Amino acid sequence: MVTRHLSEQYDVFLTTYSPEGVQIERSRIGTIAPERRKFFEISELTNTLVKDQDHLAVIHRVPSRLVSPDKNIEDELEIPDGYDYSLFRSLVEYSYPGGGNGSVIYETPPEFNSGRTGQKSSNSLTFTCQTILSDYLDSHLIIINHSINHSYRNIAEYTFALHSLSGERVFVDKTTIGPFGIRVLNLRNLLPNKVIENAKDPKDGLSSFTFMGYSDNAALLFMVVNTAPSLKSVAVEHTHPPQTYLLPGDMEKQRSVKVTAINKWKAILSSKGAY
């Protein structure tokens, strides 16, 4: 966003959390002038609130023209139509009142599910090993069907599977997500009790699984939310689309690799072997 809009001035905000994950303070710490970079010494700022303990600090930058000195720092900002921002960075956060919270930062890629004339359809391939169950821990897989196009009407079709740590496929299913919709998959409700018990580690009581999924008609945002209600604890993870870091820079080669991988997974998951 900064490189696309060099003439912008940005206000900079700092959010500081306690070691337990509870938000302590959000404050405005300065500005970044147009066509400039700026260094902020975060440790000096957060040490006044949290001393000698590991803790989370998050920096936010917001175009100064969208920030009003008359508004509360926690007020939501609405961006008028017409501004050319094809990529947004946003924070997704889940928390327990009076307990811990977890958050993750997302960047919406340019032309994300735009569906513009002449463009090839989007697809998605996701993996994670963050799916864990126990007597006190639950895992939720959250799938978001978003677009930068306000007229987006595509219903995403998503196929997914879970595997044990030994590589055995233990569950396969399909789901759909409407345009601008969210699908929450509760792992405890999805998996048979026998599967959970067979995967349980006798030492720590954790049942761990690996998850993969694909869609060949939409790009999807994906999160894993692990919660421990009795502890008022929550952790949020997300998988980066594999093309971001692992695939060739050439877009046509990226698409070819992804399509080949999705077709391979289709063949694998269509075979028998899951509960």
pLDDT tens column, 43-75? 888 988 998 888 888 888 888 888 877 777 777
Average pLDDT over residues 193-198: 95
At residue 272, what are phi and psi to the nearest 5 degrees? -80, 165
pLDDT of residue 149: 82
For the entire predicted model, the pTM comes to 0.67
* Alpha-carbon distance values, 136 to 52, 132, 195, 235 (Å): 30, 11, 17, 14
Residue 48 sits in the same domain as residue 119: no
Last residue of a domain, one of 85, 120, 139: 85
Quick one: 71 and 106 in the same domain? no
What whole-number distance in Å separates Cα of residue 217 and Cα of residue 121?
6
Tell me: do 106 and 79 sit in the same domain: no
- pLDDT over 70 at 103, yes or no: yes
Q: Is 91 helix (H, G, I), strand (E, B) or coil?
A: strand
**What are the pLDDT digits (tens) for 6-45?**
788 999 999 998 887 788 999 999 999 998 888 899 888 8
Q: In terms of residue numbers, what domain contains 61? A: 1-85
pLDDT tens per residue, range 118-177: 666 688 888 888 899 999 999 999 998 988 788 888 999 999 999 999 999 999 999 999
Q: Indicate if 224 and 137 belong to the same structural domain.
A: yes
Tokens 């699908």 found at: 183
Q: Is the pLDDT of residue 2 over 50?
A: no
The shares of helix, strand and coil residues in the chain, as percent rounded to the nearest 5, are 15, 40, 45
The structure tokens listed for 13 are 């905000």
The CATH number covering residue 245 comes to 2.60.290.11
Euclidean distance between CA atoms 152 and 218, whole angstroms: 11
Q: 1 pLDDT band (50/70/90 cuts)? A: very low
